[in-house]
Structure 1
Amino acid sequence: MFSCLEVASEKRSNKSEDEEIVHQLNAFPNSFVESETRKLVKQGALLRSIQQKEGLEADIIKQISEDAAGMLRLASMQLQYWNTLKTEEHIRSQLRRVPPSLEMLYKEIYDKISANQGNNSQRVARNTVCLLLHLKENLLPAEFIKLVQESSAHLNTNAILDICCNLVVLDKTLNVFRFAHLSAREFFEKLPDLWEHKSHSIVAAITMKHIDIAKRSEWLKKYTKEPTNTIGDYIAFWLVYHFHLAGRIEQPDSSFLKEAIALASRQDLSEFRADEQVLFLKRADCRPRVPNNTNENLRLLFNACAIGFSEILEAFIINIKNLEDRSPDFQLSENQSWIFSEGTKILKEVSNDFNLVHFKEALTKDNLIQLAFHSISHGNYPVLKLLLTKRLCHVTEGMLLQAVNVYDTRKTSGSD
């Protein structure tokens, strides 16, 4: 779950959480709070609209110094929280409050991010947090910003930091965005809105938006050692990984379903790495193309099988078979009905060639057997189980040989 470079940076800068959070200010009483407060006032980040700044500035310095009780991280986060207060009334009411804990401060700052900004800024903040929670490789700042922004508006580093109220920082040593502290990461990981499946689906969706426009670096072609951390490289390596960890597609997440179907409808998936355990690209590690003799109307099913969207495949096959014979074996669940209904609408949007009648006609016994072989090749056993238990095809000697060959190939290549 943790980004390797980010965790390494955070561990290097603080050997333990306590060493940074409980950093005593006794050696220089109030100097940190005084200097930071005055700097923020001078920059206009704090007390910007207040006429009589001097008295409030002194009160804030005194309050934060007392509340932080020598904890540098708590003092720093309290200053960031005070930056979000705009009126003198709010500031004076805060001076009378019981000092919040670090986690309470994180929550109050996050609530203000969610409530006081426009929808676009809220999505930028959400995207930023989700990326930092789950990026497998750190991106260059310029590439990171391209991913998180929701519109054509060109954001810069300062805009990202302001939107996130400095819960996120730019690490100038590593030249990457990261959380301000490990405790900030831990806070976000506990939020129900950002639990693993949900946040991975957000990462998958925002990277999908760049799938046809992101540039790839030349290193993949030359097989050099280091990537340049572009969006295109990241998509090729980790897009399927994020889709997998997003879990099953469940209603009402139509945006994620749309991105999943858009990916499964593509002409060629061989550029995407299949196995996140493999550290470099080889032909055997990429998703192979749909077999040459595959009916074009079934490309969605074969690609969905290859990249693990078994629920899409199940919904389409069971729905169509249910329409054909009304067998109890093909009763749709509520979620499968939703996937099929929404999925057909999405397919008509993303593919001008999609025709449901042709799709139904293509579901022949031979094509379903070919789909079973495809599921074996990609280790998609839910699909194979569906085909066999619903008696849509039978086990053949060729399937058994295919399974043995796949197992041997993965074992000898170290992929399993």
Structure 2
Amino acid sequence: MTAEELLRSLTPNVLGILVRRGADFAAAEDAVQEALIEALRVWPADPPRDPKGWLVTVAWRRFLDAARSDAARRRREEIAEVQPPPGPVPEADDTLRLYFLCAHPSLTPASAVALTLRAVGGLTTRQIAEAYLVPEATMAQRISRAKKTVSGVRFDQPGDVATVLRVLYLVFNEGYTGDVDLAAEAIRLTRQLAAAIDHPEVYGLLALMLLHHARRAARTDADGGLVPLAGQDRTRWDTALIAEGVVILQAALARDRLGEFQAQAAIAALHADAPAAAETDWVQIVEWYDELLALTDSPVVRLNRAVAVGEADGARAGLAALADLDQTLPRYAAVAAYLHERDGDKRRAARLYAEAAGRATNLAERDHLTRQAARLNRQL
């Protein structure tokens, strides 16, 4: 484990210790970040015997220095007076508490994700900004506002696991940009959460991430172009990740407390299990989409189900499943284009592919849809 990896793994516990000692979240998080910077400077030449104890000591000193210079001196000095004596840091895992704090309902999804990456993931503001392709100052302001929002929040009731999982799923879906692999980071954080809480949906999300991540190398061609699932070279899929994801999913499903992430993972597992696209068990995938609809009643799930119905029962059945959906849904035009092409209406499919390309927010997806439209137009 590198020094940076060690620091990132220790960050949640160190932050939690400062908060339990009386520091408010915003001030504690600032102090921990300063301690991490100091560790990166000092440790290569003089590594500590007790890394966590070192970080706690330095971070607490930074907090006290800031507290003494704060305008609210009297309140801050009362905290300083109860400083625990030097000694071993008590063993406690505050990671779970921090997850719930960072996924507080008062935060926007973007702020919750940024705060989770900073406080639980141990990433720097610069790294998070690069991952989201925004200026560092913009990200610093977003994190600062988020910290102020959750400062002083008390946990008198258990946190909402579903909210935490959605934040982690948002991180995962950001994929890779800059020098931070957010998909891998989301998997690391979800593994951490799975070690802290026994919940089938946590395992379901972890399985889903692993199964999707296993296909990553095959998702783009040599030129960076998008490769749809049916056209991917399955020999490039990571079989070890698939096997791990399936084992985790089976253990979660055995608990008989089905949730949406478990259902999504089951669909991903069926795709992973097919040696070739033509051998995909679309009938069973439709059944899992039905389970997912019963749990969520999501328009996006209905859209994806229409694709599965089109594969299982034919393009006309898939188009019928689209009939009641809002045509302004993201990817609606792309799905309709695919099904109309399968049904033999190339002219309409070409028009819909071009429409979908105009709505795409991802450059790789836009290029793929544009190429699909051009391909069909050449055949007319």
Q: TM-score, normalised by structure 2?
A: 0.35
Larger proportion of helix: 2
Q: TM-score, normalised by structure 1?
A: 0.33
- Structure number with greater Rg is 1
